[in-house]
Amino acid sequence: MSRRDLPAFNIADLQVLLRRREISPREVLETLQTRIEDIDGKIDAYLSRDFETALKEAEKVDVDLPLGGVPIAIKDIISVAGQPCTCASKILANYRAMYDATVIQKLRAAGAIPFGKTNMDEFAMGSSTENSGMKLTRNPWDVSRVPGGSSGGSAAAVAADEAFGALGTETGGSIRQPAAVSGVVGVKPTYGRISRFGVVAFASSLDQVGPVTKTVLDAALIMNAIAGHDPSESTSLNEPVPDYTAALGKDLRGVRLGLAKEYMIDGTDPQVKAAVDAAVKHLQSLGAEIVEVSLPHTEYAISVYYILATAEASANLARFDGVRYGHRAENPKDLLDHYGRTREEGFGAEVKRRIILGTYVLSSGYYDAYYLRAQKVRELIRQDFAKAFEKIDALVSPTSPVPAFKLGERTADPLQMYLADIFTSPANLAGICGISLPCGFAEIDGARLPIGLQLLGKALDEARIFQIAHAYEQSTDWHKARPSLTEIPQAA
């Protein structure tokens, strides 16, 4: 094996080499650093990297730990002690985290090495990573297109072999959607399954951390490390964590998969629909039973999501006032001028839009009409899923209605951008788990663009969706395809 080939390895295969002492953690990091230096100018997946600290950690790491010696990229909304945590926002441009988030503590305890922070939509608000206040990240399959969002940097890094695995966060689909359009695996765990302590809050009743990886097995390995109760986080579930790798390799005989008619809507790209239809037939050939179900309140999910998420964002982002940390306006006339100009200068357009909308729906006279009503409909959506899961083990659908769209194509139309999450946001509202994995390609304007298959499971049933996803993945070759980066022109 040439060391030059190493970045293309998945985590499980890398672990074999590390445990056999055929390669050292330091050599892995040095090879990955070279790969990033060669490639990231074309993708711009990273906002910062700290290989100096990572190499020191590599010298003393125990490679026999569950993730011993494996470098992991981290979305720049998750605190890593001593590293920047900008949330891709100018308001936090010079901020460095003072402590490790719980998920980082757990990764370190499992032997993983966090080494770099990935780009994202500002404060995780977006579906394309174009809302970043720092830079533009490009899709490795076609640099004229978006990598999805808001965890676009994490997805692009993994797809481009600039990371063996990464952490992302999602509030309405920000792990699964970029995973789908970038051709990798992304997992949204059950709400409360993974601690949010040390993760900068966007919408606290929706936010969740999850892995972005090259394979389902790799995602299960990271989930094993980061899942579990955290007494520091009030929404953390005190439930036992199974070994998520244990169900991998089991067949699908007797597994019931639901097809929701509400998820086959007009506006879904015909090539996406054809790929998902073919995936469903393949799952059936593996022994799964296909059952039609209904989720009647799905049509309200986007509206409900953008009321609740913006309401929570307006409250959570009130803390960024320039008083204690972050950007501060110069020479304010008074306190109100200080607050106003600090936030005007520090926040981008999409963040301002959501703060304004969220403040409006929470305001006197509108709270009942919007926020309270949205909470009631959210409960109806949750009940839809609960009723469906009485008959099925998991739901299957497209992850994104379209493949990766062109950079700039939707920035002038926020509603079209929001609709990128139409198949993902209901799961966040219901608090259930989901996974996206590659299931085909679309051919558009000469580009070969990945298509994602989504599997949704009931709360705390991640093991089941891992089982189904792994069975599909291992009986197909979609996950083995890699973008041809040698043909990518240097990004402007």
Q: What is the pLDDT along the chain (492 residues), one digit of tens a residue?
A: 677 789 999 999 999 999 999 999 999 999 999 999 999 999 999 999 999 999 999 999 999 999 999 999 999 999 999 999 999 999 999 999 999 999 999 999 999 999 999 999 999 999 999 999 999 999 999 999 999 999 999 999 999 999 999 999 999 999 999 999 999 999 999 999 999 999 999 999 999 999 999 999 999 999 999 999 999 999 999 999 999 999 899 999 999 999 998 997 888 999 999 999 999 999 999 999 999 999 999 999 999 999 999 999 999 999 999 998 899 999 999 999 999 999 999 999 999 999 999 999 999 889 999 999 999 999 999 999 999 999 999 999 999 999 999 999 999 888 889 888 999 999 999 999 999 999 999 999 999 999 999 999 999 999 999 999 999 999 999 999 999 874 444 444
Is-contact 297 263, C-beta < 8 A?
A: no
- Residue 492 structure tokens: 């402007």
**Which of 174, 267, 168 is CA-nearest to residue 219?**
168
Is-contact 74 167, C-beta < 8 A?
A: yes
Does a structural domain hold residue 490? no
The separation between CA 113 and the C-alpha centre of its own chain, rounded to angstroms, equals 19
Instruction: Say how far apart CA 467 and CA 284 lie, in whole Å.
Output: 14
Cα dihedral 318/321/325/329 (nearest 10): 150
Does a structural domain hold residue 288? no
Residue bearing tokens 């060669």: 38
- If you ran DSSP here, which 8-state letter would residue 433 be given? E
**Which of 90, 76, 29, 79 is CA-nearest to residue 56?**
29
Residue bearing tokens 């890398």: 14
Q: Which residues partner with 71 through β-bridges?
A: 113
Backbone dihedral region for residue 253 (phi beyond 0: left; psi -120 to 50: alpha; all else: beta): beta
Instruction: Say how far apart CA 266 and CA 263 lie, in whole Å.
Output: 9
Strand, helix or coil at 23? Answer: coil
Kind of pairing between the strands at 256-260 and 289-293: parallel
- Residue 397 structure tokens: 């659908």
Does a structural domain hold residue 250? yes
Residue bearing tokens 């007797």: 254
Instruction: Say how far apart CA 262 and CA 279 lie, in whole Å.
Output: 18
Does a structural domain hold residue 486? no
Residue bearing tokens 């394979």: 215
- Residue 450 structure tokens: 């990945």
Q: Which residues partner with 160 through β-bridges?
A: none
How far, CA to CA in Å, does 426 sit from each of 162, 302, 324, 377? Answer: 31, 8, 36, 11
Does a structural domain hold residue 372? no
Query: By residue range, what is the domain housing residue 392?
Result: 3-261+385-481
Does a structural domain hold residue 332? no
For the domain that residue 22 is a member of, what is the CATH number? 3.90.1300.10
Active site residues: 75, 150, 174
- Residue 213 structure tokens: 């990886």
The vertex-335 CA angle with 330 and 339, nearest 5°, equals 65
> How many Cα atoms within 13 Å fall on the side-chain side of residue 3?
15
- Sign of CA pseudo-dihedral 422, 265, 128, 208: positive
Does a structural domain hold residue 203? yes
Number of structural domains in the chain? 1
How far, CA to CA in Å, does 13 sit from each of 59, 154, 195? Answer: 21, 20, 28
Strand, helix or coil at 211? Answer: strand
> How many Cα atoms within 13 Å fall on the side-chain side of residue 180?
36
Residue bearing tokens 């995780």: 124
Q: pLDDT at position 276, please?
A: 97
How far, CA to CA in Å, does 140 sit from each of 22, 146, 162, 389, 412? Answer: 30, 9, 11, 36, 23
Instruction: Say how far apart CA 100 and CA 82 lie, in whole Å.
Output: 9
The vertex-398 CA angle with 309 and 281, nearest 5°, equals 155
Amino acid identity, residue 368? D
Kind of pairing between the strands at 394-398 and 289-293: unpaired
Does a structural domain hold residue 309? no
Q: pLDDT at position 1, please?
A: 60
